[in-house]
Amino acid sequence: MPTISANPLVPRQRRVQCASAAGLHHVAYTEWGDPANPRVLVCVHGLTRSGRDFDRLAAALADTYRVVCPDVVGRGRSDWLADPRLYAIPQYVADMVTLIARLDVESVDWFGTSMGGLIGLALAGLPGSPVRRMIINDVGPRIEPDSLTRIGEYLGVQPRFATEQEGIDYLTSLSLPFGALTGDEWREINAPLLRELPDGGWAIRYDPRIAEPFKATTPELAALGEAALWRAIETTDAALLVVRGAASDLLSRETVAEMTRRGRHVSQAEIAGVGHAPAFMSADQIALARGFFLGDGASAS
């Protein structure tokens, strides 16, 4: 049964049943704000992260939005897919369509970090898409090769930790480009990524098999995916804000400029002192998001 709070500012843990070619699975999500609010913001995380990355942002926007933060299948508290070959954007988009149908709204705003931005962009490019406004956080159709090499070094690895803190420290070491977070902030976003094992120790809450399709991607498949995302940029009617970490190794300034040129309603912002990807936990970053979603064009530059 879903966890329902009488206080709309306290998050609720829920899940929705979705389908794949291999069967049924559940996608877990955290929901903030008034559950009857028709104004919905969907926040989708990066490749190995979880919806709990958005706790600060969601709490800050829950006065305006019903904020929904899913754990993409294979991550967090969501189920693992029976067939790991399905860990790819088409399945993730299908799951998000099911989630939005569960929310019973006609349109949504979207905040997507890294993989979450690619999912949102793919959805926004579909005819009749429900996406109205979207922040694309440090990702674009063209991904820099060096970042793929870096990600490939840890993706699919399933280390075991003696203590929760050891796991938090490991995850923090992978996430340092997020910015200058405090120890408490690192714990806030990394503790939800860990699960305690029945026989002792801790492990990361994700299916290591998500690495299989990532590592099986050929240059030809990557080129097809990039072309599809450029088409989405060119055809979507959604207003887009592309946010880049100034030190990002994944999203280049050149790609941001091309997104701005080729898109219909694309603005950009760059955040100093951050790589891939801005955490959106600080007051100034949250203000940037709030300004864009509330229609303040001056928030983006």
- Residue 71 sits in a domain whose CATH number is 3.40.50.1820
Instruction: Decide if 168 contacts 122 (C-beta within 8 A).
Output: no
The pLDDT, as a whole number, for residue 6 is 47
Give the span between the Cα atoms of 129 and 143, in whole angstroms. 24
Q: Is residue 149 part of a domain?
A: no
The pLDDT, as a whole number, for residue 2 is 45
> By residue range, what is the domain housing residue 139?
12-144+218-299
The pLDDT, as a whole number, for residue 5 is 47
The pLDDT, as a whole number, for residue 300 is 39
Tallying the residues shown for the chain, one arrives at 301
Q: Helix 115-124 and helix 89-103: axis angle, to 10°?
A: 70
The kind and range of the H/E element at 130 are none
The pLDDT, as a whole number, for residue 102 is 97
The pLDDT, as a whole number, for residue 174 is 95
The pLDDT, as a whole number, for residue 296 is 57
Q: Is residue 100 part of a domain?
A: yes
Nearest 5°: the CA angle 233, 267, 177 is 90
The kind and range of the H/E element at 45 are none
Q: Is residue 210 part of a domain?
A: no
The low-confidence residues of the chain, meaning pLDDT below 70, are 1-8, 296-301
**Following CA atoms 200, 205, 208, 210 in sequence, which dihedral angle do they give, to the nearest 10 degrees?**
170
* pLDDT tens-digit readout, 233-268: 999 999 999 999 999 999 999 999 999 999 999 999
Specify the number of domains making up the chain: 1
What is the β-pairing status of strands 108-113 and 194-196? unpaired
Q: Is residue 59 part of a domain?
A: yes
Q: Is residue 151 part of a domain?
A: no
Give the span between the Cα atoms of 98 and 91, in whole angstroms. 11
Q: Is residue 17 part of a domain?
A: yes
Q: Is residue 56 part of a domain?
A: yes
Q: Is residue 183 part of a domain?
A: no
Handedness of CA 170, 137, 32, 16 (dihedral sign): negative
The pLDDT, as a whole number, for residue 3 is 45
**Amino acid letter for position 53:** D
Nearest to 67 by CA among 297, 244, 290, 237: 290
